[in-house]
Amino acid sequence: MVASSSEGRPGVQPLARADIAMAIAASYRRRVGGEIASVGAEGSSLDIEQALMASSSVILCHDGAADPRFIFANNAATVVWRMGIEYLVGMPSRLSAPPEMQAERAQALAQAATDGVLLGYSGERVAADGSRFMIIDATLWTVDLPEGGFGQAVRFDTWHALPGPG
């Protein structure tokens, strides 16, 4: 369920965010193997949401629209992208990559959609302040969304700043 935040940007209500977190964790278990959240399969959706939000791994998920928008971002993602959740969630996910890298990003997402998962992905990204960084050894996977359809999520632990503005 998507709602507008006080700034007029799309945001995800807490119950919907917990449902999305549960879908991220279940899809990770099915497509990648193992647990993405330390609470395991028996945890409640709220437990899983809290574990994903607090994870030191960057975790993002976008919907399956023609121009996908982020529907989940954890606290680590807000640090790396240098913007609050209220701005990151609802943003077209293509804007997370610099314009000249969007075709390469789209190819990786297409491969992850075809195979269900893509391991070891690396790619250049751009933060809100224009600074650029490289994500290293990311995992991309297809997420079965709670309201039907498919989205895609990414998890990574390693990134480094690139020279340039910011």
3-state SS, the chain, equals CEEECCCCCEEECHHHHHHHHHHHHHHHHHHCCCCCCCCCCCCCHHHHHHHHHHCCCEEEEECCCCCCEEEEECHHHHHHHCCCHHHHCCCEHHHHCCHHHHHHHHHHHHHHHHHCEEEEEEEEEECCCCCEEEEEEEEEEEEECCCCCEEEEEEECEEEECCCCC
Q: How far apart, in whole angstroms, are the C-alpha atoms of residue 108 and residue 117?
A: 10
**pLDDT confidence band for 11 (50 / 70 / 90):** low
From residue 66, alpha-carbon distances to 25, 36, 118 in Å are 24, 27, 20
Q: Model confidence over 66-98: pLDDT tens digits?
A: 999 999 999 999 999 999 999 999 999 999 999
| Residue 8: predicted pLDDT | 40
Residue 148 has pLDDT above 90, yes or no: no
| Residue 119: predicted pLDDT | 98
On average, the pLDDT of the chain sits at 89
Asked if 125 contacts 135 with a C-beta cutoff of 8 angstroms, the reply is yes
Global pTM?
0.88
Q: Model confidence over 104-140: pLDDT tens digits?
A: 999 999 999 999 999 999 999 999 999 999 999 999 9
Q: Model confidence over 17-70: pLDDT tens digits?
A: 889 999 999 999 999 999 998 876 677 888 999 999 999 999 999 999 999 999
Residue 13 has pLDDT above 70, yes or no: no
| Cα radius of gyration rounded to whole Å, the chain | 15
Residue 12 has pLDDT above 70, yes or no: no
**Domains present along the chain, CATH in parentheses:** 2-161 (3.30.450.20)
**pLDDT confidence band for 1 (50 / 70 / 90):** very low
| Residue 38: predicted pLDDT | 82
